[in-house]
Amino acid sequence: MDDAKALDARHVLQTYRRHPITLVRGEGVRLWDSDGREYFDLLSGIGVASLGHAHAALTAALTEQAGTLIHTSNLFYHPLQGQLAERLSTLSGLQRAFFCNSGTEAVEACLKLARRYWYQSGEERTEFVALNQSFHGRTFGALSVTSEPKYREPFAPLLTAQFVPPGDGEALASVVSRRTAAIIVEPIQGEGGVRPLTPEFAAALNETCQQTGALLIADEVQSGLGRTGVPFYSSTIGLKPRLMALGKALGGGVPIGAALIDEEVAQRIAYGDHGTTYGGNPLACRAALCVMDELAGGLMSHIERMGRLFESRLGAMAAKHSAVTEVRGAGLMWGLELKTDAAPVVARGFERGVILNRTAGSVVRLLPPFVISEADATDALARLDLALEGAEG
Ligand SMILES: Cc1ncc(COP(=O)(O)O)c(C=O)c1O
């Protein structure tokens, strides 16, 4: 056992079932382990390394920022937080941003701001509605709107939440009431198996919120910021959120999350209602501004183009391998639904030098870096194709 594994086994809380490799270096879409083996990274650290690894502009920006100012706390202004908030506001149409350090904190902020909104109005609207197969994070609020019992049960009791099947407008209408503070949905359910919501269900969500006053929260932590070839998948399906949670791709690997909020909801917050020591510090904002610059500088259209390539190659793989029953996703967010457990395919992918992920048991998930080239995508997908051989079983 190498040092990293031995120390982990002895001293790190054993909550992650890790693959038995130690990653030591990356460049673009490639990663190297401690034995010098090379991998194509089709996962980006679960949708985070949006610019790939050791990206030149991000490295230069972070190096410069680290030598200038890393952290100030939110007791003071610094030049970058307002700039980032403005960029996100322009991109989303939601006026204000609250910065934090992870996806779950962004969700937590959205849930708290929804509660705060109704508290101000004097109405007792404290409940949340979410979807089956949802995943919103591990903190108590986010966990409360995450559906899977395996995540929830050891930590009950949680906040009051009701769950409805995605696509079922009638079930939605029957549970949303004047006690509902907010409905939270992932426009593409990520951990739940890469399941895009339909435009029809988005319309039902908009309608239900309109009729009941419930606030609509879009969790775009995984699907947002260019991942699907557009800034936010909400717009693709016509979903009209009042609040939005962001994370993952935003910092290109530097931890940062953001809750985006429309002006009416934002107006109900008072000084001191919510906060975080690190949230939106200069280093994290610098990273996010660099990601935003890249997206504005042609990366979004590159994702769209690569997305079409993934769609057609994965479609061809599904036609060839009877084990693949469905291909779902958009842009650079894809899931291959298998008839069987996806773990052996992921393991064979590792053997062939491609990093994939299993989610929802039978789904092989792909979240490659936005910068993946056509040549690298072709090579990496050919390895996935080989990894699928034998899955027919
Ligand atoms: C849709 C969604 N929301 C929230 C989270 C939680 O983000 P984090 O792990 O950064 O707390 C995730 C993480 O996978 C996610 O996919």
Q: What is the pLDDT of residues 195-231, one digit of tens each?
A: 999 999 999 999 999 999 999 999 999 999 999 999 9
The token pair that represents 52 in the structure block: 């790939």
Residue 282 — pLDDT band, cuts 50, 70, 90? very high
- Residue whose CA lies nearest to ligand 1 atom number 3: 136
Evaluate: CB of 334 within 6 angstroms of ligand 1.
Answer: no
Cβ of 103 below 6 Å from ligand 1: yes
Centre of ligand 1 to C-alpha 106, Å, is: 9
Of 388, 376, 377, the C-alpha closest to 318 is 388
C-alpha distances (whole Å) from 200 to each of 107, 237, 238, 362 are 24, 8, 9, 26
- pLDDT attached to residue 311: 98
- Return d(Cα 363, Cα 63) in angstroms, integer: 38
Tell me: pLDDT of 393 over 60: no
Say if residues 243 and 234 touch (Cβ distance below 8 Å): no
Strands, E, within 114-238: which ranges?
A: 127-131, 161-164, 180-185, 188-189, 195-196, 215-219
Residue nearest to atom 7 of ligand 1 (CA): 103
Separation of alpha carbons 331 and 296, rounded Å: 16
SS3 content of the chain, % helix, strand, coil (to 5): 40, 20, 40
Cα–Cα distance measured from residue 270 to residue 248, given in angstroms and rounded to the nearest whole number:
28
Whether 253 and 225 have beta carbons less than 8 Å apart is answered as: no
Task: Determine if the pTM surpasses 0.85.
Answer: yes
Residue 111 tokens read as 């849930």
Contact 128, 144 (CB under 8 A): yes
Is 40 a residue whose pLDDT tops 80?
yes
Return mean pLDDT, the chain: 97
Q: What is the pLDDT of residue 52?
A: 98
Residue 121: the pLDDT is 87
Say if CB 113 and CB 261 are below 8 A apart: yes
Torsion sign over Cα 204, 210, 213, 214:
positive
Average pLDDT over residues 265-293: 98
Q: What is the pLDDT of residue 113?
A: 98
pLDDT at 63: 98
Residue 247, ligand 1, Cβ within 6 A = yes
Q: How many CA atoms lie within 13 A of 151 on its CB side?
A: 19
359 lines ligand 1 (CB under 6 A): no
